[in-house]
Structure 1
Amino acid sequence: MSFNPFVRALSLIGFAEFATQQGLNPVDMLRRAALPQQSLERHDGIIAFRRYCALLDICQRQSGNTLFGLQLGLFQGVNVFGELLYLIRNARTVAEALDELRDHYALYNGAAYIGLDIDGDTATLSYRVTELDLPGLPQAEELACAVGVQLLRALIGDSWRPEAILLRHPALQDEASYRQALGFLPSFSAHCSGFQFSTSALSLPLSTADTRLQQLIVEHMKRMERLSADDLASYVKVLLRHLLPSGRATVEKVADCMAYNTRTLQRRLSQEGTSFQQLLDETRQDMACHYLEDPFISMTQMSGLLGYSNQSGFCRAFNRWFQVTPLAWQKRNSPNQQPRLLRDSRLNTLHRRSEGDN
């Protein structure tokens, strides 16, 4: 299984509140880990897994709480799964729910994968990261195990507990601290990180199952970009969509968000047969066509959302892409949305005439 260095920013859900409870400034922690502040609000964005692990490592050191990752995972619980949770909850049995988790986990995390192995009467749900030499990885592994336990409790009942929690690394703190956090002691230096439970739990039915709703969710998730594919260009486009409105969509900023240096990013894009400028143009084109279908976005707003300092710059670029003006494109493709742009155009004409009279 190939390593992919990105995870959804959804992984940070609840982080700000928990970090604050630990006496930390969450924005400062993100800055120290070189993660953008908007990651706390834009959960559909992507962040470098290496930076995510570094964030957890920084937080445990700054707070003095060695079990920061474990406790954050217990705090986040099932919320960290986002829309995937609806798919999991609408499975018919626990086994099918875990299959959905395993099959769709790459939508949210390209740096790790979920395993479900059966050995006699024991099932092992594992969290495996391909690249093991990452500072802060033990924090991320403990967090994942805690989230997994919370998921099974949500499916089976609050009183459920695994037969064993497995952690690939040695204990990060004394046994009493782990017992206090989890209610029991994990097994350390194990062959993988995860937990074991009786296979009898797999056949338990889920009372929340709704076959029709499950199919709708499956169709929606099919349209999401998987983070497991080795497609650097798609990740650059995701970042550009989030960075353009702030006017910071530079190759340096994108490379920094991906934990690459600029030359490495440009070289890798060249190897994929593209370039940063080409991806920037393609992203702006897609966004422009989408915005032109929205009657509530003005030309001035559209220009800003696409990272242009003025409307004329956007119009020149649009004409270069499509050999037509934005207004002409909208007349041809979205005739019902003309009034807004026509109004903008007329206002600009009146404004120019007014300036000429003066």
Structure 2
Amino acid sequence: MMINDIVSPATGSSEENSTSGQPILLAGRGRTLPPGYIHLGVSKEIAPTLRDFGVEPDPVIREAGLDPHLFEDGTNVIPHMALGRLLTLSVARTNCPHFGLLVGQRATILSLGMVGRLMQHSETLGDAMRALVSNLSIQNRGAVPSLAISGDAAYFTFSVYQPEAESADQISDGSLAVAVNAIRALCGSHWNPMEILLPRITPADQEPFRRHFRAPVRFNQESAIIVFPARDLGLRIAGADPLLRAMLEERIRQLKGAQGSEFSDDIRRLLRMRLTSNHCSADDIAHLLTMHRRTLSRRLKGGGMGYRAITNEIRFEIARQLLQDTQVPLTQIAAALGYSEASAFTRAFRRWSGQTPTTWRAEGHPG
């Protein structure tokens, strides 16, 4: 199936951060994010979700290496890896395999901060989704969204790209749950997708997923995707204010332009979105960024890492997520990552991890 990209994520900006190992609290409003960090936003709902299970959240949050006071304000900033650890602990404490879904269910379009407000004042659903994809980097530098269209269907995809991220399946569940909430806020509570694709093992109880998404849910997929009618992109958003939209767009432009972006992180985000589409060669990425291939290589080497090394890092991360969180066959994972044969993927994975993918999956490494 050929899917044509409508919009790709815009590059984000970064700032210096501490390497002390202590939880970092950055002023949430008016600041851009360092790579690997995320505004709490949707994740602020983790604490009340834990309470719903009778679990006191503060000890769990501390065990994840975070200060519970951070969760008092959704604009506070935490490392994306700490979010993954917190979700892993939350699933264990509650014994709920769909904990991430419950977190996303509680969140609203306003949980997406300034980007959510821009979506509310976009002219059409298509404009709102493009705003989300283009600007999520001011709120989240651990995952990347994309929007594509093929025939009569639109595809909203959400992919975790931070290396060694735990609970990528929980993050994907919650992210699609809040994205559906956001679309329903814009189009009406009656809105439903055509189907949902999730990169996670089929749960014993599928009903919570069907109940929230109100659509067929397919598990053991390569990516987290909301599939919906492409015609819905033209739906107009009631109450959208053009003046507020212009003000929000200007503020977001200021945030993006406030500080220089970390180029290698921008490449990682682009690769995570495109690696499974066979449009991710160095020439492809250079063309996308309107620069010469040699300029791309020079800028990456200036940051201490070449294009091939970054590509392999992202391939390893995708492979880890699919091996850990799904039962997708090795041949399918190999093809998705651009390998002509499963044996070539096996050799590459052994170089990266010291183990074959079959052994790695059997040993049940933490996500």
Under a length normalisation based on structure 2, what TM-score does the superposition of the two structures give?
Answer: 0.59
Q: Residue 94 of structure 1 is aligned with which of 125, 135, 141?
A: 125
Q: Residue 12 of structure 1 is aligned with which of 27, 31, 43?
A: 43
CA distance in 1, matches of 2:131, 2:68: 31
Q: Look up the match of 1:41.
A: 72
Q: Residue 206 of structure 1 is aligned with which of 230, 237, 240?
A: 237
Q: Residue 261 of structure 2 is aligned with which of 209, 221, 229?
A: 229
Q: Look up the match of 1:85.
A: 116
CA distance in 1, matches of 2:89, 2:196: 24
CA distance in 1, matches of 2:126, 2:68: 37
Relative distance call for 1:231 and 1:44 in structure 2 (3 A) is: farther
Counterparts of residues 143-154 of structure 1 (less than 5 Å): 143-154=174-185
* Off by >6 Å, runs of 4+ in structure 1: none
- Paired letter, 1:26: P
Q: Look up the match of 2:60.
A: 29
Q: Residue 68 of structure 1 is aligned with which of 93, 99, 119?
A: 99
C-alpha RMSD of the superposition: 2.6
CA distance in 2, matches of 1:82, 1:48: 17
CA distance in 2, matches of 1:168, 1:25: 29
Greater RCO, 1 or 2 (C-alpha within 8 Å, sep 6+): 2
Counterparts of residues 150-165 of structure 1 (less than 5 Å): 150-165=181-196
CA distance in 1, matches of 2:78, 2:136: 16
Q: Is the 8 A contact 1:6 1:109 kept in 2?
A: yes
CA distance in 1, matches of 2:219, 2:45: 27
Which of the pair has more CA radius of gyration?
1
- Paired letter, 2:198: L
Q: Which runs of 5+ in 1 are unaligned?
A: 233-270, 273-358
Q: Look up the match of 1:217.
A: 248
Q: Is the 8 A contact 1:175 1:185 kept in 2?
A: no
CA distance in 2, matches of 1:231, 1:115: 19
Count of residues paired in the alignment: 234
For residue 128 of structure 1, give the secondary structure of its aligned residue in structure 2: strand
Q: Is the 8 A contact 1:71 1:181 kept in 2?
A: no
Relative distance call for 1:116 and 1:7 in structure 2 (3 A) is: same
Q: Is the 8 A contact 2:209 2:217 kept in 1?
A: yes
How much has 1:69 moved relative to structure 2? Answer: 0.4
CA distance in 1, matches of 2:59, 2:260: 30
For residue 118 of structure 1, give the secondary structure of its aligned residue in structure 2: strand
Q: Residue 178 of structure 1 is aligned with which of 198, 209, 212?
A: 209
Superposed CA deviations along residues 31-68 of structure 1, whole A, max 9, x for unmatched, are 11111222112433321111101111111110111111
Q: Is the 8 A contact 1:35 1:51 kept in 2?
A: yes
For residue 171 of structure 2, give the secondary structure of its aligned residue in structure 1: helix
CA distance in 2, matches of 1:18, 1:6: 22
For residue 155 of structure 2, give the secondary structure of its aligned residue in structure 1: strand
How much has 1:155 moved relative to structure 2? Answer: 1.0
How much has 1:229 moved relative to structure 2? Answer: 3.1
Superposed CA deviations along residues 66-117 of structure 1, whole A, max 9, x for unmatched, are 1110011011122321122221111111101111111110000011111000
For residue 47 of structure 1, give the secondary structure of its aligned residue in structure 2: strand
Q: Is the 8 A contact 2:147 2:154 kept in 1?
A: yes
Q: Is the 8 A contact 1:107 1:228 kept in 2?
A: no
For residue 219 of structure 2, give the secondary structure of its aligned residue in structure 1: coil
Relative distance call for 1:162 and 1:89 in structure 2 (3 A) is: same
Q: Which runs of 5+ in 2 are unaligned?
A: 1-8, 12-33, 265-301, 304-367
Superposed CA deviations along residues 157-196 of structure 1, whole A, max 9, x for unmatched, are 1011100111112224433343344444411122310210
Q: Look up the match of 2:159.
A: 128
- Paired letter, 1:69: G
For residue 193 of structure 2, give the secondary structure of its aligned residue in structure 1: coil
CA distance in 2, matches of 1:163, 1:120: 14
How much has 1:219 moved relative to structure 2? Answer: 1.9
For residue 140 of structure 2, give the secondary structure of its aligned residue in structure 1: coil
CA distance in 2, matches of 1:221, 1:207: 22
CA distance in 2, matches of 1:185, 1:178: 9
CA distance in 1, matches of 2:214, 2:196: 11
Q: Is the 8 A contact 2:75 2:113 kept in 1?
A: no
Superposed CA deviations along residues 114-167 of structure 1, whole A, max 9, x for unmatched, are 100000000000101224642211111100010111111111110111001111
Percent of aligned pairs with the same residue?
21
Q: Is the 8 A contact 1:109 1:228 kept in 2?
A: no
CA distance in 2, matches of 1:27, 1:166: 33
Q: Look up the match of 2:348.
A: none
Q: Look up the match of 1:246.
A: none
Matched, 1:166 2:197: yes
Relative distance call for 1:38 and 1:224 in structure 2 (3 A) is: farther
- Paired letter, 1:229: S
CA distance in 2, matches of 1:34, 1:68: 19
